[in-house]
A and B are shown apart, each in its own frame.
Chain A
Amino acid sequence: MRLVAIDEVAQTCSLKRGQGLAEARAMYPDIDVFDEDERADFALLEAIADWCDRYTPLVALDGKDGLFLDITGCTHLFGGEEAMLRDVLARLFQMGFYVRGSISSTPGLSSAISRFGPGGVITREDMSAALGALPVHALRLDEKAVASLLKLGLKRVANLMSMPRAPLARRFGAQLLMRLDQALGTNEEAISPRRPVASLSAERRLGEPIQTEEDILGMTAEIASSLKLSLENRGAGGKVFELVLFRVDGRVFRISAGASRPLRDPKRISGLFSERLNAIHDDLDAGFGFELLRLNVLQHDVFDDLQADFSGEERRETSLADFIDRVSARFGAGCIQVYQHRQSHIPERAEIFLPAIAAPERQPQCSETLQFLPRADRPLRLLRSPEPVEAFAALVPDGPPQQFRWRHVLHTVTRAEGPERIAPEWWIDDENAKERDYFRLESELGRLFWVFRLGRYGDDPPPTWRIHGVFA
């Protein structure tokens, strides 16, 4: 067992990372040791990254203990780079984290300076000087490369920078030069943000934290109305919205809600979240309140501006979309579904469900498909899967049974229609799949069943009977 991390006191006591635990115990018998919990560490880092979303939407993870924030174009909102860095560090310090940070033109240099240097803001002119003063560990190289550099006495980055490049590449591989170039900005390095960037977003910083649901919804509507103008300028409406709630103590809640049609109306947008808040009521712990609310438009679509007419038809359409959105927001998209017809003869494959929110626009649909459909009789209720029945005295080879037992009830058949043969789809099922012969069977009480025989007589194993649905 080895030490993976040490606190400040331990650092002054000449303990080191990577040291054996037995050795450390021998030096200081009364040290406290905890097992590493990688998952908890990662969750903490993620939570801090969530919190950092307040500064920029582009937050990426740097290893196990670092974060990259791409603050291009954001600094003026926080009073410049110096002030922003101070703000980040101070707030995190108040939350109980000791954090070091720096701002520079490249992720590589920022990472190196915050981990191995003095931190702070590095201007473009100071880049090479600042990097040169650092030890070679700062270049994010693998351990083997660092060890071989140290063996040759190349302890500082400045030593490498003054050397000719070709022999360095030959000796230590391309990685060394790549890292060096990335730190100095001659080679572009992209960070990978944790979340997709919203196409539009707006936020409100609150002097007084809010706690109640009404306040949150009211604020959402207000933010949405400030988004409305930008949506109108783009001729778009939002389809997927995300409400990000930053709690005073640093916890971040994300609530997303979808709409079946592009939305702009602030009232309807806040209506979506009202259902979502209802649904997740218990999970949303307001604590001491939320200090920052942000509304993101994650997905938007073309919004058709329509002039309202005096007939009620248009209103019915919007109220339908509104209802679907509310239901989907409250119970999930799978709760309300529409039928979708598929090109198949197998009954359970011919008709499937699609979430109503994702279904294509309900335009006046082509009625030709309706006409070309088989006019054969189909049951009104289809069982989830065909259930086996015990059939008696069926006429061989292709007749209906005289009696059958389903769910322990014996039904006597008075009339029968069929068979309607449905051949298996060999391109999906199998070449050996058996065909089904469907019968409509009427029992003496007038109940009508849809029963099929799977397979043919004379086959081995013998055919079996299943029930697949009931008629009206």
Chain B
Amino acid sequence: MAHAAAAQEKLFALREQIARLEGRSLPAMAAAKMESFVSGSSGEERLSFDIPALDDALSGGLPLDCITEIRSGSFSDAGAATGFSFSLVGLMKARKAAAGPMLWIADSFSSGEMGIPYAGGIRQFGIDPRAIFHASPRRLEDALWLAEGALESKAFIATILEVHGNPKSFGLAESRRLSLRAKAAGQPLFLLRHAGEEEASSASVRLLVEPAPALERSLPDGSMLGGSIGHPVFNITLEKSRNPAPLSFRLEWNLDDRQFHLARDPGKSSFHKWPAHSGASLSASADRQDRPKAVGAVVAFERAS
């Protein structure tokens, strides 16, 4: 009897372990999670985009205790990929209202190729650049050490590890190691891969980021300012997630609200399309107070004919 109970216990433990590895939740775990939710601290944090279709595909949002890979197809898309990873951090900050430093682990080749993150631009993304630590290791091994140390120290709310291409020394074993660290620490690691191919890794989510034409700047009255370049827009493709089919979204990152929106199709760009002088769109003024009044009272109208 006791033996059977022990076996049952063991089986349950194994099941739980598998579920944890897969990132699914068992009924018991779900119950435990509910308990911790009631007590005020949610066990597994997810970053919701507030876009139902995207959140559903990610089963509730971006998990924040694992590796999220952000991939760009070529170096010329590095700006978009960088922007998207910063906007994720900005979203985290806006959501959690958590102030905390962030670590950027730069790749020296990418820095030489596409420049280093610039504080002025970061500030516009809604992140105080003084809360960003910029690490510039010489070798990839050092970068991995830094990422691991940063996750372990739990000092940063987010860590962005920049790599380019698909380096051999950052294979499945290394990414598995980092993923376990992230899981243990409950801290997110954003892996920013410039000009890389899809490859097997331990990242829970992989997103392909491509730039998209920005929308126009919106004016206070809700209309758009023709010919202007507004908030950044990204084409996001979910390459790896719980969702079986790859999904694409066009997201606009609102710099002021620190919030993602689904971008409307920028069908009609109005650059050079309106005439330079479109003519009066206002009604002519009439009956204004400052018109000179006729002298004297009207006694009788003039004869019409």
- Provided the pairs A322-B153, A337-B133, A417-B229 are in contact, do residues A380 and B269 lie with their beta carbons within 8 angstroms? no
Tell me which of B26-34, B63-71, B210-218 binds A: B210-218
- Residue B118 interfacial (CB < 8 Å): yes
A316 surroundings in chain B (CB, below 8 A): 100, 154-155
Q: Chain A, 325-343, contact with B by CB distance < 8 Å: what is the 0/1 string?
A: 0110011001111110100
Residue in contact with A446 in the complex, picked from B145, B213, B271, CB distance below 8 Å: B213
Give chain B's interface secondary structure class: mixed
A-B contacts, 27 of them at CB < 8 A, read A319-B154, A320-B153, A320-B156, A330-B145, A331-B137, A335-B137, A336-B133, A339-B132, A341-B130, A370-B123, A378-B121, A379-B121, A380-B82, A381-B78, A382-B118, A414-B271, A415-B213, A415-B227, A417-B228, A442-B214, A447-B76, A448-B229, A470-B78, A470-B114, A471-B83, A472-B79, A472-B121
Cα(A471)–Cα(B211), bound, Å: 10
B142 surroundings in chain A (CB, below 8 A): 331, 335
Could you say which of B149, B211, B212, B228 has the most chain A C-beta atoms within 10 Å of its C-beta?
B211
B235 surroundings in chain A (CB, below 8 A): 446
**Is B78 in contact with A339, judged by CB distance below 8 angstroms?**
no
**Is A370 in contact with B82, judged by CB distance below 8 angstroms?**
no
B153 surroundings in chain A (CB, below 8 A): 319-320, 322-323
A322 surroundings in chain B (CB, below 8 A): 153, 155
Cα(A365)–Cα(B101), bound, Å: 13
Chain A residue nearest to B132 in the complex (CB): A339
- Provided the pairs A356-B133, A377-B124 are in contact, do residues A409 and B116 lie with their beta carbons within 8 angstroms? no
Listed from nearest, the 9 A-B pairs whose CB atoms lie closest are A472-B83, A378-B120, A470-B79, A320-B155, A382-B118, A380-B121, A351-B119, A472-B232, A381-B115
- Residue B87 interfacial (CB < 8 Å): yes
| Residues of chain A in range 79-137 having any CB-CB distance to chain B below 8 Å | none
- Residue A469 interfacial (CB < 8 Å): yes
**Is A472 in contact with B253, judged by CB distance below 8 angstroms?**
yes
- Provided the pairs A472-B79, A472-B82, A472-B87 are in contact, do residues A338 and B132 lie with their beta carbons within 8 angstroms? yes
- Residue B134 interfacial (CB < 8 Å): yes
**Is A320 in contact with B118, judged by CB distance below 8 angstroms?**
no
- Residue B125 interfacial (CB < 8 Å): yes
**Is A471 in contact with B121, judged by CB distance below 8 angstroms?**
yes
**Is A337 in contact with B155, judged by CB distance below 8 angstroms?**
no
- Residue B89 interfacial (CB < 8 Å): no
Q: Chain A, 405-439, contact with B by CB distance < 8 Å: what is the 0/1 string?
A: 00001000011110000000000000000000000
**Is A448 in contact with B211, judged by CB distance below 8 angstroms?**
yes
| Residues of chain B in range 148-163 having any CB-CB distance to chain A below 8 Å | 149-150, 153-156
Residue in contact with A327 in the complex, picked from B76, B125, B129, B149, CB distance below 8 Å: B149
| Residues of chain A in range 435-453 having any CB-CB distance to chain B below 8 Å | 440, 442, 444-448
Q: Chain B, 77-93, contact with A by CB distance < 8 Å: what is the 0/1 string?
A: 11110111011000000
- Provided the pairs A337-B134, A440-B229, A442-B214 are in contact, do residues A415 and B269 lie with their beta carbons within 8 angstroms? yes
**Is B155 in contact with A319, judged by CB distance below 8 angstroms?**
yes
**Is A378 in contact with B83, judged by CB distance below 8 angstroms?**
no
Q: Chain A, 301-320, contact with B by CB distance < 8 Å: what is the 0/1 string?
A: 00000000000000010011
- Residue A172 interfacial (CB < 8 Å): no
Cα(A322)–Cα(B84), bound, Å: 30
- 13 further contact pairs, Cβ within 8 A, besides A331-B137, A381-B116: A322-B155, A327-B135, A331-B142, A338-B134, A339-B119, A339-B122, A339-B130, A339-B134, A373-B123, A378-B120, A415-B213, A446-B80, A472-B87
B296 surroundings in chain A (CB, below 8 A): none
- Provided the pairs A414-B271, A442-B229 are in contact, do residues A335 and B79 lie with their beta carbons within 8 angstroms? no
- Residue B195 interfacial (CB < 8 Å): no
Chain A residue nearest to B114 in the complex (CB): A381
- Residue A362 interfacial (CB < 8 Å): yes
- Residue A384 interfacial (CB < 8 Å): yes
- Provided the pairs A365-B130, A381-B116, A442-B213 are in contact, do residues A472 and B149 lie with their beta carbons within 8 angstroms? no
**Is B120 in contact with A335, judged by CB distance below 8 angstroms?**
no
Name the distance in Å between B67's Cβ and chain A's nearest Cβ. Answer: 19
- Residue A353 interfacial (CB < 8 Å): yes
Q: Chain B, 16-43, contact with A by CB distance < 8 Å: what is the 0/1 string?
A: 0000000000000000000000000000
Residues of B within 8 A of A (CB): 76-80, 82-84, 86-87, 100-101, 111-112, 114-125, 128-130, 132-138, 142, 145-146, 149-150, 153-156, 210-214, 227-229, 232-235, 253, 269, 271
**Is B269 in contact with A448, judged by CB distance below 8 angstroms?**
no
- Residue A141 interfacial (CB < 8 Å): no
Name the distance in Å between B152's Cβ and chain A's nearest Cβ. Answer: 9
Residue in contact with B83 in the complex, picked from A350, A380, A384, A414, CB distance below 8 Å: A380
**Is A409 in contact with B129, judged by CB distance below 8 angstroms?**
no
Name the distance in Å between A388's Cβ and chain B's nearest Cβ. Answer: 15
**Is B79 in contact with A338, judged by CB distance below 8 angstroms?**
no
A4 surroundings in chain B (CB, below 8 A): none
Chain A residue nearest to B105 in the complex (CB): A336
- Residue A347 interfacial (CB < 8 Å): yes
**Is A320 in contact with B101, judged by CB distance below 8 angstroms?**
yes
**Is B253 in contact with A383, judged by CB distance below 8 angstroms?**
no
Cα(A209)–Cα(B128), bound, Å: 51
B77 surroundings in chain A (CB, below 8 A): 447
- Residue A324 interfacial (CB < 8 Å): yes
Cα(A417)–Cα(B146), bound, Å: 39
- Provided the pairs A323-B149, A446-B233 are in contact, do residues A381 and B82 lie with their beta carbons within 8 angstroms? yes
A365 surroundings in chain B (CB, below 8 A): 128, 130
B271 surroundings in chain A (CB, below 8 A): 414-415
Cα(A442)–Cα(B101), bound, Å: 32
Cα(A378)–Cα(B120), bound, Å: 5
Chain B residue nearest to A323 in the complex (CB): B153
Name the distance in Å between A297's Cβ and chain B's nearest Cβ. Answer: 25
A353 surroundings in chain B (CB, below 8 A): 134
Name the distance in Å between A284's Cβ and chain B's nearest Cβ. Answer: 19
**Is A336 in contact with B115, judged by CB distance below 8 angstroms?**
no
B119 surroundings in chain A (CB, below 8 A): 339, 341, 350-351
Chain B residue nearest to A383 in the complex (CB): B115
Residue in contact with B130 in the complex, picked from A334, A336, A362, A472, CB distance below 8 Å: A362
Name the distance in Å between B220's Cβ and chain A's nearest Cβ. Answer: 16
**Is A335 in contact with B136, judged by CB distance below 8 angstroms?**
yes
Cα(A416)–Cα(B269), bound, Å: 12
